[in-house]
Structure 1
């Protein structure tokens, strides 16, 4: 094999001048160079970009770790296409039947790599077993012992589930108590929890009847150990030619994966490739590599020859050369299914060589090939599919950081071996830019299906833990290639940014709301901020990132601030997609708007609101809206059209009542009756008002009518109180908030937001704390007062003492022994305090005699 000390090849900058004026000054962090490289697409004249992304392995529902990878890719794709105006073709693969993964979450973990084959086969065996074996207890006990013996330090022959639980709990007590960040330790912890859960479930089953045992066949805790047990004993009996056994599982989860991505507002790929549809072309791909002299056949399959590749003046492990001799990573890259071949009896020529084609064992899916019935190796899949769709060279290849070695390094080597031959003197460059996304972690632990420490996207969205917008905001606040740890502070920062933008949109729409459609169109035409990009992006200085200011002491207008923010945002996104800087700039612009000494003009408000709307649309924070959509704001901001007439009638009635009740003369009963009558006419505008708001208005009018007919001399304060109740209780619990404003301006009808909920909760907590403190003070005062009733001469006359002086201070204890001088001194001080309390009580209440 070639020496590891040989110089690594220079990355070949794509042909074309780096200062091409037709292209934006975009630089991308390139894993091939480990630097920010100027981005020059292969077809720079058409500004077209070819991009291949490693997609999911679909054997289970996607979790938030997946969301990190695909949301991030979607954000970058939108920036390149919608903001920088590249024509992006985005291709993604689906690994549907194979023993490897091609995604960040389980990449390079042997447990995860075999999951499609094993999980599909296991589920097939499990369903068959449950159908034919309703009485499971004996088998479950054997499965528990087998699982514990294989994955944990448990060698006892005692099959008692209780004994297993006791032993494992004691052996791994320290592990269970601490937070684990190391993957190997986290995996061990997962096995411990699985074993304990199964042991508890089986113990519970032992106390049940046969009928009850039969009814618990869908227990997740038991399925985990039972599937592994059945597969180890009967996996090789599954018909390998029956591909439906495997594709049934993957087809269902592929559909669910796409549904999850759409729920997160991730755009569909332009092309989707599936491994099972590419097997014949993969066979041809391998044959050409072998024909070029870079592969060899052995009994276990076909392997890539790293030594031959490097002898032909090529370089292997270009992404992570420091890992090229990491045998653990190499073994993980080959997968648990081939562990035997990687041992002492391996027929590979070198530990660095990797499988292109594997001869299938009994129970594993297989396809015909010149080398025998088998299936593709993990890495060859992406090479064949990407090459078929994008050719001998393309612009961007992306995936999780875990994929860099060995998966992407192996992809590079075998693809370059396919597109060249061993006599070439120059290494073929298959990919120009590699982009690797960082992990998503919670409490320092990376999410992984194989570690069972994840929350699925469906659970997160359905349970309200996250929204599509909220999760995307958190990712925008971080860097795309750095790891992101979900902390309370980060979640709070994301919510704060969302609420700030939300409030700005509400206020700007309110200011522009009186404008006619014709006026809005005039503002749109006359506005200078209709496009997201600055006016002259090519003239922006990349040195300081902002437009220079001649007189720094001169006041800066909001329009100037907008132009500066647009320019700095442009440069930030050209700086390897620095979205966190842009998010901060948007927040800065809103702060400047809110702090303006004079009310901003409609034109300035429109310009700023339109630009921010375009940016949030471009980032994917507003559903299917595009940057060119004319509407101001984002979804969830406006009251539904069906409810607006009813809410407007309610708010108008309340505004009228508050105005009269707060006047110097107050409100009269006749004015209340007239307002009730007027509200009926206003409400009739809505032909089908929503029932909840109908009930609210009817209840409000009834309480007003009762007040009008009452004998109370002053009804202005009660009317204002009813108006407050309508705002703070009746409508609030329907998700509507009426925001009162200064003067006679009508209340602003708003949806209840997370910020409003948090503000109210904080207020309620403060009031509760204040009430508690007051109650404690009153209780202390009461206790103090009650204590003052007792005379100081009587306070010590208890069985604890046997003699007292004339003042009632004890001199002897209950046994008749003299008290020490120090004890008498302490008792005298207590006596003096009580004397003062009693005198104060007597002064307030009179003598007790």
Structure 2
């Protein structure tokens, strides 16, 4: 054995070591309980128990609802389909609540009132009576936004009243009168309803009145969520179905010393709870403890009368069970006929599904206090623990064009109104481009950005599809361009992962995806300019990855590997596979015809080819793109999108034509003005300026100003230059006239 080999055998083999680098980034979520990002750790392995505060179904769903439910739908999808958690998602429907009772009762009373067909005089008199307390409310109001809203309603009612009175006095017209009466009832709906309710609300005894309204608006809510592509809950709970559980829950809280009965109602003793060593009241917003205004709003409009307030031991206590007054639905209980308090409903329903400790609880930012803080207190009193919710996630506010969105301020946009202007995907992209926990402004700028993002990424998908339809070798040698794009792909994927781990930051994620599209487009342009074939497999992987991410976010439905569905989710793939061979053949034929037409200068044939591209194919949902020196590109696009593009193109071309005509007109006017000026003899050029000069010499040159004062030498010098310049222009004009006469004579 050689000496070198013996020496090598005596050496110790170096120990294996893992490569330098960080472990997989853990998911962090912004926890409202700690007001910072915390590493997410479920209590039962990969299983996640998640409860989301659902809607109080007393009216049409609006974009404030969409803000929460789209945001949480995105979080839920990412948790399930990206991080692979096993999520059980429960959501409630609040179908017993002060808002529902009041709205149902008022709607019923107003319908009854209108069924009696009040005369013009009766309606006018009743409206004036109803407006009296409304005006008093307006005078007392100190909140500027609420005051402005009340003033708008008052102004509108007064305007319609004046119209109805005028038509009655001057020219009675039955049809016009009926129209104005309906308008007045619509404008004065709030004050009339309040007035009727104050007089007859206690007389409403039919419980079905209080179930029809929430059933109607719950159905509407589910339709709206389906239209927004929000996944349905795994478990849906309704308060009306959990009355026995609510009663048992309240009794347990009483038994543990944290609840007390008062005048057939039951209240939660916040002072007793907060004083216990194992408990703390108002975990989410401790600084709001004692905020009487917020507490009253949390109790509901029908629960803030003086007699109800006097039943409490402390102003910070809140109702667990409310004794029903006349005109309210009721259920039997150990404390008498009554109904659940608002806050207890969620504690009971969430606990019934997910038990004594939830992994995640979500809701709107405005529910933090008192609603969610009261939920926590009730549940921790019931279970005698201090960890009913592990992670509390709150979606940010929604503003409308920079202003606070509020149902009570009548400053809101319904989901259906939003969907009439933008697609569900565009709305979702608008939310994805912002952080789920921050304030989002619903505006033309916000949605314009979302529409541009959709177009940008859709154009990339369509381009990749077109590339993949061309023949290519199974494997291409990667050069510098492919290596750079592949490296960008890996970096962007890592960027997406880091962003999603960081509180599911979809805004940063969408930025990474935009950069990946940009890098891919640069690569495609380089290949196109060099007349080289791009690598199909690499582009397919990138486009498929982007499609997968958008599917995870709920922005794409369907099973297609690449891109947005065309012609509806059910037929998209088949449509493309079926029609594309024919479209490609047509595009190639048209391209050859255009080449021959250009060589032969056959303008009419070129116009027909352009008409096929610009007018005929868009009606069929086909975009045909011509690229000089390259084969045409065929893309299947939604017909509506293409027609909008066509309208926009026509508008742009029309504006260019208008600007061109305006420019030509101004040039003609300028030329005419110059020509007119040339025709003026210098001896006449100042004579019309009598507002400046009063005397002139024999040549028409001014000598004195309008007040008779002789012009200074400096003034005369300036005017002389103008005079001499006009002499030159006039001389040129005379010469052109003389030349014209001579040329005319020679022509004869």
TM-score by length of 1: 0.75
| Superimposed CA distance per residue, residues 439-478 of structure 1 (whole angstroms, 9 cap, x where no aligned partner) | 111233221211111111101112x2x2211111121111
State whether structure 2 residue 677 is matched by structure 1 residue 787.
yes
Instruction: Quote the offset at 1:775 in angstroms.
Output: 2.8
Structure-2 separation of matches of 1:458 and 1:571? 35
Among 116, 134, 145, the alignment partner of 1:132 is 116
Aligned residue-pair number: 685
Measure how far apart 1:826 and its partner are: 6.7
| Cα distance in 1 between the residues matched to 2:694 and 2:356 | 106
1:316–1:409 contact (8 Å) kept in structure 2 = yes
Q: Is the 8 A contact 1:842 1:848 kept in 2?
A: no
Shift of 1:735: 6.0
Distance in 1 (alpha carbons) for counterparts of 2:337 and 2:280 = 32
2:265–2:323 contact (8 Å) kept in structure 1: yes
Alignment-derived partner of residue 720 in structure 1: 606
**1:336 shift after superposition:** 2.7
User: CA 1:830 to 1:435, structure 2 compared with 1: closer, same or farther past 3 Å?
Assistant: same
Residue 40 of structure 2 is aligned to residue 76 of structure 1: no
Q: Aligned to 2:563, which of 608, 616, 633?
A: 633
What SS class does the counterpart of residue 90 from structure 1 fall into? strand
Q: Quick check: 1:499–1:755 contact (8 Å CA) kept in 2?
A: no
Deviates most, 211-220 or 652-661: 211-220
Structure 1 residue aligned with 2:133: 146
Q: Superposition pairs for residues 433-832 of structure 1, below 5 Å? A: 433-462=391-420, 464=421, 466-514=422-470, 556-596=483-523, 597-598=526-527, 599-623=533-557, 625=558, 629-636=559-566, 651-652=587-588, 654-663=590-599, 666=600, 715-729=601-615, 731=617, 736-743=622-629, 745-751=631-637, 752=641, 765-766=655-656, 768-797=658-687, 800=690, 804-810=696-702, 818=708, 820-821=710-711, 830-832=722-724
Q: Which residue matches 2:17? A: none
* CA distance in structure 2 between the partners assigned to 1:366 and 1:336 by the alignment: 17
* Aligned-pair CA distance for 1:736: 4.6
Question: Does 2:723 match 1:842?
Answer: no
The reply to whether residue 118 of structure 1 matches residue 102 of structure 2 is yes
Distance in 1 (CA, whole Å) between partners of 2:555 and 2:635 is 23
3-state secondary structure, aligned to 1:36: strand
What is the aligned partner in structure 2 of residue 198 from structure 1? 157
SS of 2:632 mapped into structure 1: coil
8 Å Cα contact 1:147/1:229 also seen in 2: no
Does residue 323 in structure 1 map to residue 288 in structure 2? yes
Q: Distance in 2 between matches of 1:610 and 1:412?
A: 43
Aligned to 1:229: 195
Q: Output one character per residue of 1:574-599: Cα deviation in whole Å (capped at 9) or x when no partner.
A: 22101111111111111111112445
Q: Equivalents in 2 of 1:799, 1:444: separation in Å?
A: 55
Cα 1:226–1:724, aligned 2, differ >3 Å: closer, same or farther? same
For 2:709 and 2:736, the matched residues in 1 are separated by 35
Partner of 2:366: 402
Q: Residue 250 of structure 1 aligns with which residue?
A: 214
**Cα distance in structure 1, aligned partners of 2:440 and 2:650:** 31
Do residues 301 (structure 1) and 259 (structure 2) align? Answer: no
Aligned-partner SS, 2:58? coil
In structure 2, the CA distance between the partners of 1:89 and 1:184, relative to structure 1 (3 Å rule), is farther
Task: Give, in angstroms, the shift of residue 757 of structure 1.
Answer: 6.5
Q: Which has the higher helix share?
A: 2
CA distance in 2, matches of 1:304, 1:378: 12
Q: Is the 8 A contact 1:739 1:750 kept in 2?
A: no
State how far apart, in whole Å, the 2-side matches of 1:645 and 1:224 are.
61
Q: Secondary structure at the match of 2:499?
A: helix
Distance, in Å, in 1 between the alignment partners of 2:735 and 2:459 is: 59
What is the rounded CA distance, in whole Å, between the counterparts of 2:304 and 2:487 in structure 1?
A: 64
Query: Distance in 2 between the 1:559 and 1:202 partners?
Result: 71
- Aligned counterparts of 1:843 and 1:403: Cα–Cα separation in 2: 88
Match of 1:25 in 2: 26
CA RMSD, 1 decimal? 3.2
Aligned residue number for residue 49 of structure 2: 50
Residue 495 of structure 1 deviates from its aligned partner by 2.6
State whether residues 597 and 603 of structure 2, in contact with CA within 8 Å, keep that contact through their aligned partners in structure 1: yes
Contact 1:90 / 1:271 at 8 angstroms: preserved in 2? yes
- Alpha-carbon distance in structure 2 between the residues aligned to 1:630 and 1:644: 15
**Shift of residue 433, structure 1, vs aligned partner:** 0.9
Distance of 1:383 and 1:721 partners within structure 2: 70
Task: Tell me the CA shift for residue 613 of structure 1.
Answer: 0.8
Tell me, yes or no, if structure 1 residue 238 matches structure 2 residue 225. Answer: no
Q: Distance in 2 between matches of 1:723 and 1:25?
A: 57
The answer for unaligned runs of 5 or more in structure 2 is 1-21, 528-532, 742-748
Query: How much does 1:636 deviate?
Result: 4.2
- 8 Å CA contact 2:401–2:443 kept in 1: the answer is yes
